[in-house]
Amino acid sequence: MKAVILAGGQGKRLRPLTEYTPKPLIKIGGKPIIYHQIEWLKSHGITDIILCVGYLKEKFLDEIGSGRKFGINVAYIVEDEALGTGGALKNASHVLRDEECFYVINGDIITNLNLKVMKEKLDDDVVGVIAAYPLPSPYGIIDVDENNRVVSFKEKPLLMKYWINAGVYLFKPSIFSFLPDKGDIEVTTFRKLAEMKLLKVVFYKDIFWKSIDTYKDIEEAERLLSKLSKS
């Protein structure tokens, strides 16, 4: 089984850090984000990985190469121009059309969620499965009683009533007929598939998950990974 890592973005919110380093190669916990992803994919038996690259693509070639040093096989799909997540995936259709299904991962997340659960949910009547994670509150939450007296204070809890796209997907090749030539899959394809009820979701609760979008995310990921390694 194959996995696609979408790694073509410019990571503008992390500049100047990303002026010379693509976001998936930024180090978190002493190693690049993409190293964490490779280790995670290998733990699920996935050793055939396709990297969709564009911005600073030569950096991936220097760092990852053929994948041999990781015990994996890496193929590269290069964007000549920015295509967005949907266009980037469609650009890789020629190497994925014969697969029964394949995983797609955003290149800026670190997680340990169980991919096999998604495979179990891929029914015949859907195009794909999306992983969902509880919305992390960016602020502390105050609980009060009927007299407006504070009874508890929760520091940045997970908001279990709300779920976010975790950036991990499992698709059948039929997804390609819904993808734009240029544009983001979240903005175009998912809305269409949702209207047609062709997507399923898996809710992940007790896992590690972190998206790296800002400097603050780097600091938070470092802290959480350190805590995880000690548990």
The beta strand positions in the chain, using DSSP E, are 2-7, 27-28, 31-32, 48-53, 73-78, 102-106, 109-111, 128-136, 141-144, 150-154, 158-171, 199-203, 209-211
Instruction: For residue 137, give the DSSP letter.
Output: P
Q: How many CA atoms lie within 13 A of 41 on its CB side?
A: 31
156 classed as catalytic: yes
What's the CA angle centered on 148, arms 142 and 151, to 5 degrees? 50
Asked, as a colleague might, if the bond just before 157 is cis with ω within 30 of 0, I would say no
| Cβ(24)–Cβ(32) below 8 Å | yes
First to last CA, the chain: 31
Q: Do β-strands 109-111 and 209-211 pair in parallel, antiparallel, or remain unpaired? A: antiparallel
Q: How many CA atoms lie within 13 A of 106 on its CB side?
A: 25
User: Which is catalytic among the residues 31, 156, 205, 216?
Assistant: 156
| Cβ(37)–Cβ(31) below 8 Å | no
Give the residue numbers annotated as catalytic, written as ranges: 156
